Amino acid sequence: MENIRILSEYACFGGTQSFYEHDSSSIGLPMRFGVYKPPQAQYHAVPTLIYLAGLTCNEETFAIKAGAQRMAAELGLAIVTPDTSPRGANIEGESDAWDFGLGAGFYVDATQQPWAKHWQMRHYLTQELHVLLVQQFEADAQKIGIFGHSMGGHGALTLALNYPNLYRSVSAFAPIAAPSQCPWGVKALTGYLGSDPTHWGLYDATELVNHGARTHHILIDQGTSDKFLADQLHTHLFEKACLKAGQALTLRYQPGYDHGYYFIASFVADHLRHHAQLY
C-alpha cells in the first residue's frame, strides 16, 4: 500500500490487529493508526468503526485495553484507531500539559499559531483517513461509523453531527459533551481556535444540537462514579438539548463505574452491537 508502513501485526480472534504509519498531507507529519480486521474481511468488505481515544491516549490504547476484538470478530466489524494528536512537530510547550498539545488534539482544525500548521485533526479524519480507508483498506464508504471516549467521545459526537452522511452510526463513552462550558474544553478551544467562543460551535455537541444539527441514533454510556462527570463532561446538558430537539439518544447511567477502561471494557460489546444493527 503506497505511503503506508506496517509497524506490527498480530493474529487476533481469527482476524488481525495491525498498526500502521503513513505520511499525512493534512497533518504534515507521520500519523499512526491501528486496524482490527475481523475474519470476515478475508472474503468481503465489512462495516468499519472509527474509535477516537481520549486525553493522553494513542492509537494502541483501545486495541490493548478495551477487549473489543472478540465481539468485533463475532459481528464482522473492522475497528480503526487513529492517534489522538500530531507528533513530532516539536512545538515549544507541546508536552507541558496532559490536557493540551500532545495526546490532546480534541479532533479540531486549529486556527491559532503555532498549532494551525499541524493540528488539523478534523480534516485528517473526515478527508484523508476516510479516503485512505476506502481506497487502501476496502472499507465500504456507506458503512462507516464512529465512536469514542471522553475527548474522543466529544470528537465522535461532533463529527457525527457535522457529517451525518459520512458516519452512519455513532456512540460514546463518557463524552465531553459541552466543551464550551468545562475547563478542559475552554482551555483546548481557546488554545486551538482563539478566545472568541463564537468560533467554537462546530466542536461542541450540545451547541450543535441546539442549533439544528442532527445525526443517527446516539448511544452514550456514562459512569455515575466518574470523577469528571460534574465539572468536565456535562452529559445532562447534551441530554437536555437532544430531548428538546428530538435528536434520538439512548443515555445509560451505569452505577458505580468510573471514567477508565474497565468501564469501557464492560460495555464495549453493547456499543458494537448498537453499530452493527444499523448495517
Active site residue ranges: 150, 226, 259
CB 180 within 8 A of CB 189: yes
Q: Which of 235, 130, 86 is nearest to 173 (CA)?
A: 235
62, amino acid identity:
F
Alpha-carbon distance of 17 to 142, in angstroms, equals 23
Strand order, beta sheet including 249-254: 4-12, 15-23, 30-37, 78-82, 48-52, 144-149, 170-173, 218-223, 249-254
User: Beta partners for 15?
Assistant: 12
Cell numbers placing 179 = 466543551
- ω before 179 within 30° of 0 (cis)? no
Burial class of 195 by CB neighbour count within 10 A (0 to 12, 13 to 18, 19+): exposed
Total length of the chain: 279
CB 72 within 8 A of CB 79: yes
